[in-house]
Structure 1
Amino acid sequence: MRMVLAARVLTALAITVVTALAAPVRAANPYAPAFTVNSSVVTEYDIDQRMKLLDALGANGDLRKTAIQQLTEDRVKLQAAKAIGITLPEGAIQSGIEEFATNRGLTADDVTEVLQVRGIDQQTMNDFVQSGLMWREVLGSRFRARAMPTDADLDQAMALQAKRPREMLYMAEIALPFAERSEAETVTLANQIYAQVSRGASFADLAQQYSRSGTAEQGGALPPVSASQLPSDFRSQVLLLRPGQTTRPMPISGGLALIKLLSIKQEPPDAKAVDTPEARDQLRKQLFSERIANFGQGYLQELLGDALIVQK
């Protein structure tokens, strides 16, 4: 019995030693596999690059956890597209980057500038955009007919919209243009300001000191805006905040900005909103986007549930 126990202890000790020795080797090799998704490899370098991209876009929370989740989802999205023979035409990724930039109020050149400043490979951005474009095609192929709203759906939605209170966002900004400092110095300053805000420093005071927007004198306070009027990617980022929270430094045209969500208020419906062909077309696109996103989330969970994910 003692010999068995001793053997177990020695085995456990050997495993501990091997693990301890292997850990530095893996850390020293950024291209070491971190995990596989249906045999598709995700490396430590992939994770590090996605974390940098998330940080550059102002993401909050555990960036490594989010990066791993996104990379896992990207792999199954690409595999689903491959399974039904979807390919992207030439120039689609660049068009996708331009669309991504527009949705954030940026230009493609702004995106390139941010990638260079943050040490993010262009391929990392290309992969990020590619998975989104391929997934869009997958969802369109599977769910377009079911997601498209009918005229009756639009009539009902227009009637509800005329009665629904508007969700108004009250925000403040600190805008830091690259032109005033070098890009690297601007990134450093933005991160320092974010750290101060996170420790409880006054956002309004920092805005008055550092922001180069016309709102600086008012502590960065912006005019209230309807959530539906914000660029889609920017809106989703801000709505992840609770009132009083601030985004990480995020790219804006020609620089970086920190956005603080001050409050969200419900205000009376817009009396000027009328049932016009333009309004119906906009609402049709909105309903279609919401529906296909819901279908897509359910389908993605199915794919993840069936996926073989192996940690290395």
Structure 2
Amino acid sequence: MRRIRTGAVIGLIRGVALGALLGTATFAQGLFEPVARVGDRVVTAYELQQRTRFVEVIGQPGDPAELALEGLIDDRVRQEAAEEAGIDLTDEQVMEGMAEFAGRAGLSTDEFVAGLAQNGVDAATFRDFVAAGLGFREIVRQRLLREVEVDERDVDREIRRLAGDPGLRYAFSRVVYRVDTPQFAAQARSRIDALGSSPSLAAFAAEARQFSVAPEGPAGGLIDAMDAADLPGPLRQLLSGLAPGEVSAPVPLAEGRAVAIFQLREVREAPRPAPAPTAIDYAAFYIPGGRTPQALAEAAAIRARVDTCDDLYPIAREVGQDRLDRGTLPPSQIPADIAQELALLDAGEASTVLTRAGGQTLIFLMLCDREYPLPGEADREAIRAALQNRALDARADALLQTLRAETRIEILP
């Protein structure tokens, strides 16, 4: 594949804008000239102009022209794969996909489309973008869904994660940039790129004071610490994925007329305690010899081979299934010494403090998981689908790169 020449692409986009202002018939014809060939399909200058503006409106960091051309090439690869697989989306499926995308910005489809129109982006551009992704998602489901397994325990963990730990408080800052004109959008992209993913707290505060249009901007973008349970779901999820000092990806606001970035300053313990676990999943692997050097060496060898409790099963098959016990019990039903030791462990950690049989058997004790009360009512099937989609997205990226490598791609002069 030929490397995309950013300078040439930017020149083309500027030419499109100039021609639109002049309104010449010759240039109008040029709008539909191909700028790239992807297999048997083409990308036109008009599509490139529209996608570039779309990238600017949603605040995607990076060079808009290069991102637009790369995205359109990916879409052509996706469309070709969907056609070969016989996938034909219904209007209802596409509308649902558009609503899902708009919902990420807290908008209805009509509100999102209206915001795009105000910035010169046709609704058809948005529709084509969504449809290409949906068709490819269906291919991924057909090919790879059987590889993704989500059980009830996975759903329980995700419910707790989405609810946030009620014993945590997040201290964070925010910068909100205007992107309602091409000039402001370009400035925002430049500022976000210059700031980087992990600026100092002082640098982020200075950025907020100089460029943020939010009320807290003059105060350095500082927002008072908030309980995780009190944060809106999307913001709680965004902050939970950051380490202190890290900055989030841009988040569209105000119908695409502004974007926000968040920096996590600190995660604090809240005054109220987290709920007590309702059950504890743990494993005990029994090693003959007590605390002899040989038994301790065997325990060390096991520790080197396992990351989770599930990793103990192959070892048990090698030395005897009767040496492994695993169970999930309420804390009150767990032997006191084991319960006390488990309280000191995090999931995946192990202890070799305890013995049995008068000190003749060493216990390799491992905490698998703690189960907590589930917060409120949750749509388990929706959460299961979200977990499957997350796993499928990772596999989809790999599949797309494979298909691109197999496709003839030419950037036209």
TM range (shorter): 0.5 to 0.7
In structure 1, distance between residues paired with 2:246 and 2:380: 32
In structure 2, distance between residues paired with 1:167 and 1:149: 30
Q: Which runs of structure 2 are paired with 1:225-304 in the superposition (5 Å)? A: 229-230=233-234, 235=238, 243=246, 247=250, 251-253=252-254, 256-263=257-264, 265=266, 271-272=274-275, 274-275=373-374, 278=378, 281=381, 284-304=384-404
Which stretch of the first structure deviates more once superposed, 62-71 or 163-172? Answer: 163-172
Going from structure 1 to structure 2, the CA distance change for 1:123 and 1:151 (only over 3 Å counts) comes to same
* Selected match of 2:208 from 198, 201, 204: 204
- What's the secondary structure of 2:388's corresponding residue? helix
1:87 aligns with 2:102: no
Task: State the AA in 2 paired with 1:72.
Answer: I
Offset, 1:140: 1.6
Q: Which of these two proteins has the greater Rg computed from alpha carbons?
A: 2
- What's the secondary structure of 1:261's corresponding residue? strand
Offset, 1:300: 1.2
- What's the secondary structure of 2:150's corresponding residue? coil
Kept in 2, the 8 Å contact 1:173–1:221? The answer is no
Higher helix share: 1
- What's the secondary structure of 2:257's corresponding residue? strand
Q: Which runs of structure 2 are paired with 1:1-312 in the superposition (5 Å)? A: 29-151=30-152, 170-174=172-176, 186-187=180-181, 190-191=184-185, 194=188, 202-206=206-210, 210-211=213-214, 215=216, 218-222=219-223, 229-230=233-234, 235=238, 243=246, 247=250, 251-253=252-254, 256-263=257-264, 265=266, 271-272=274-275, 274-275=373-374, 278=378, 281=381, 284-312=384-412
Structure with more relative contact order (C-alpha pairs < 8 Å, separation 6 or more): 1
Higher strand share: 2
Going from structure 1 to structure 2, the CA distance change for 1:281 and 1:98 (only over 3 Å counts) comes to closer
Which stretch of the first structure deviates more once superposed, 278-287 or 55-64? Answer: 278-287
Kept in 1, the 8 Å contact 2:169–2:269? The answer is no
Offset, 1:205: 3.1
Kept in 1, the 8 Å contact 2:246–2:264? The answer is yes
Task: State the AA in 1 paired with 2:173.
Answer: M
- The aligned length equals 273
- What's the secondary structure of 1:91's corresponding residue? helix
In structure 2, distance between residues paired with 1:196 and 1:294: 28
TM-score normalised by length of structure 1: 0.67
TM-score normalised by length of structure 2: 0.53
Instruction: Report the equivalent of 2:289.
Output: none
Instruction: Report the equivalent of 2:302.
Output: none
Offset, 1:281: 4.9
Going from structure 1 to structure 2, the CA distance change for 1:55 and 1:254 (only over 3 Å counts) comes to closer
- What's the secondary structure of 2:32's corresponding residue? coil
In structure 2, distance between residues paired with 1:51 and 1:202: 30
In structure 2, distance between residues paired with 1:197 and 1:294: 29
Task: State the AA in 1 paired with 2:407.
Answer: A
In structure 1, distance between residues paired with 2:252 and 2:164: 36
Task: State the AA in 1 paired with 2:258.
Answer: A
Per-residue deviation, residues 199-246 of structure 1 (Å, max 9, x unmatched): 8894433578x43x5x467554445676993279x959x97xx84688
Percent identical across equivalent pairs?
22
Offset, 1:191: 4.2
Going from structure 1 to structure 2, the CA distance change for 1:204 and 1:93 (only over 3 Å counts) comes to same
Offset, 1:263: 2.9
In structure 2, distance between residues paired with 1:254 and 1:311: 33
Which stretch of the first structure deviates more once superposed, 264-273 or 71-80? Answer: 264-273
Q: Structure 1 unaligned runs (5+)?
A: 1-22, 177-183
Going from structure 1 to structure 2, the CA distance change for 1:255 and 1:72 (only over 3 Å counts) comes to closer
Kept in 1, the 8 Å contact 2:50–2:121? The answer is yes
Kept in 2, the 8 Å contact 1:106–1:252? The answer is no
Kept in 2, the 8 Å contact 1:81–1:138? The answer is yes
Going from structure 1 to structure 2, the CA distance change for 1:203 and 1:45 (only over 3 Å counts) comes to same
